[in-house]
Amino acid sequence: MNAPNLNTQQHAETGKHTGKAMRRMEDTRFLTGRGRYVGDITLPRQLYAHFVRSPHAHARILKVSTEAALAVSGVKGVYCANDLQGTRDVPPNWVLPGSQVKGRPALAREIVRHVGECVAVVLAESPEAAADAGVLVDVAYDPLPTVFSASDALQDGAHKVHGDLPDNLATTFKTGNGGYDEALEKADREIAFNLRNQRLVPFPIEGRAVNADFDPATERLTFYTAHQIPHMLRRMLAGALGFPEHKLRVISPDVGGGFGPKMHFYPEELTLARLSCLLKRPVKWTERRSENVAATTHGRDHEMEVRVAVQKDGKVLGLKLDSKANVGAYLSSMGTGVPTINVALFALGVYAIPHSDVTITCAYTNTTPVDAYRGAGRPEAAYMIERVMDRVALELGLDPAETRKRNFVQPDQMPYAQPTGTTLDTGEYAMTLDLALKNAGYEGLRKEQEEARKKGRYLGIGFSNYTETCGMGNGFILQFVGFDRGGYESAVVRVHPDGRATVLSGSHSHGQGHVTTFAQIAADELGIAPEQIEVLQGDTDMIPFGIGTFNSRSVPVGGSAVKVAAGRVAAKMRRIAAHLLQCEPDNVLIEEGIFKAADGNGTVTIERVAHAAWTGHDIPYELGIGLEETEFFHPQSMSSPYGAHIALVEVDPETGEVELKRYIAVDDCGVIINPLLARGQVHGGLAQGIGQALYEDAGFDAQGRPALEPSIPRFDMLPRFETDHTVTPTPTNPLGAKGLGEAGAIGAPPAIVNAAIDALWGLGVRTLDMPLTPERVLTSIRNAANKETEA
Per CB under 8 A, residues contacting another protein are: 127-128, 131-132, 135, 288-290, 654-655, 694-695, 697, 699-701, 707, 709-714, 717, 773-775, 778
Nearer to another protein, 655 or 767 (CB): 655
Nearer to another protein, 65 or 655 (CB): 655
User: In DSSP terms, which residues pair with 302 in a beta bridge?
Assistant: 197, 325
Report the number of secondary-structure helices (H) and strands (E) in the chain: 20, 28
Q: How far is the CB of 650 from another protein (least distance, A)?
A: 16
Q: Are strands 47-53 and 316-328 parallel, antiparallel or unpaired?
A: unpaired
Q: How far is the CB of 30 from another protein (least distance, A)?
A: 19
Nearer to another protein, 599 or 701 (CB): 701
Which backbone phi and psi does 227 adopt, to 5 degrees?
Answer: -140, 160
Name every residue whose Cβ is closer than 8 Å to that of residue 106 and which is 6 or more positions away in sequence. 81, 84, 87, 89, 90, 118, 240, 267, 270, 271, 274
Element (H, E) at 580: helix 560-581
Q: How far is the CB of 128 from another protein (least distance, A)?
A: 5
Nearer to another protein, 412 or 701 (CB): 701
Nearer to another protein, 3 or 778 (CB): 778
Q: How far is the CB of 709 from another protein (least distance, A)?
A: 4
Name every residue whose Cβ is closer than 8 Å to that of residue 317 and which is 6 or more positions away in sequence. 183, 184, 186, 187, 309, 310, 311, 353, 354, 355
Nearer to another protein, 48 or 429 (CB): 48
Contact 730, 556 (CB under 8 A): yes
Q: Are strands 355-364 and 316-328 parallel, antiparallel or unpaired?
A: parallel
Calculate the dihedral angle through the C-alpha atoms of 290, 293, 295, 301, rounding to the nearest 10 degrees: -160
Q: How far is the CB of 126 from another protein (least distance, A)?
A: 9
Number of Cβ within a 10 Å radius of residue 393: 21
Give the integer Cα–Cα distance in Å for 356 and 114.
Answer: 36
Name every residue whose Cβ is closer than 8 Å to that of residue 178 and which is 6 or more positions away in sequence. 355, 356, 357
Q: How far is the CB of 254 from another protein (least distance, A)?
A: 22
**Residue 364 burial class via C-beta count within 10 angstroms: exposed 0-12, middle 13-18, buried 19 and up:** buried
Give the integer Cα–Cα distance in Å for 607 and 583.
Answer: 19
Nearer to another protein, 38 or 461 (CB): 38
Q: Are strands 111-112 and 59-65 parallel, antiparallel or unpaired?
A: antiparallel
Element (H, E) at 77: strand 75-79
- Integer angstrom CA distances of residue 521 from 14, 20, 321, 493, 674: 10, 11, 42, 11, 10
Nearer to another protein, 642 or 700 (CB): 700
Q: How far is the CB of 48 from another protein (least distance, A)?
A: 10
HEC secondary structure over 224-268: EECCCCHHHHHHHHHHHHCCCHHHEEEECCCCCCCCCHHHCCCHH
Q: How far is the CB of 195 from another protein (least distance, A)?
A: 20
Nearer to another protein, 432 or 773 (CB): 773
Q: How far is the CB of 771 from another protein (least distance, A)?
A: 9
Q: How far is the CB of 207 from another protein (least distance, A)?
A: 11
Nearer to another protein, 299 or 471 (CB): 299
Nearer to another protein, 101 or 131 (CB): 131
Q: How far is the CB of 694 from another protein (least distance, A)?
A: 8
Q: How far is the CB of 683 from another protein (least distance, A)?
A: 19
Q: How far is the CB of 375 from another protein (least distance, A)?
A: 21
Query: Side chain identity at 539, as an amino acid letter?
Result: D
Q: How far is the CB of 94 from another protein (least distance, A)?
A: 31
Contact 364, 328 (CB under 8 A): yes
Nearer to another protein, 95 or 649 (CB): 649
Query: Side chain identity at 502, as an amino acid letter?
Result: T
Q: How far is the CB of 560 from another protein (least distance, A)?
A: 40
| DSSP classification of residue 555 | I
Nearer to another protein, 362 or 781 (CB): 781
Which of 175, 726, 729 lies closest to 425, judged by CA? 729
Q: How far is the CB of 717 from another protein (least distance, A)?
A: 7
Which of 83, 72, 67 lies closest to 48, judged by CA? 72
| DSSP classification of residue 161 | S
Which of 167, 165, 163 lies closest to 150, judged by CA? 167
Nearer to another protein, 481 or 712 (CB): 712
- Integer angstrom CA distances of residue 90 from 103, 264, 268, 335: 5, 10, 10, 11
Nearer to another protein, 279 or 717 (CB): 717
Nearer to another protein, 290 or 502 (CB): 290
Nearer to another protein, 591 or 709 (CB): 709
HSE (CB half, 13 Å, CA atoms) of 589? 10
Which backbone phi and psi does 570 adopt, to 5 degrees?
Answer: -60, -40
Q: In whole angstroms, what separates CA 269 from the centre of its chain?
A: 21
HEC secondary structure over 523-543: HHHHCCCHHHEEEECCECCCC
Contact 557, 670 (CB under 8 A): no
Q: How far is the CB of 699 from another protein (least distance, A)?
A: 5
Nearer to another protein, 70 or 394 (CB): 70
Q: How far is the CB of 270 from another protein (least distance, A)?
A: 24
Q: Are strands 248-251 and 220-225 parallel, antiparallel or unpaired?
A: parallel
In 38-96, which ranges are continuous DSSP H helix? 67-70
Name every residue whose Cβ is closer than 8 Å to that of residue 782 and which is 6 or more positions away in sequence. none
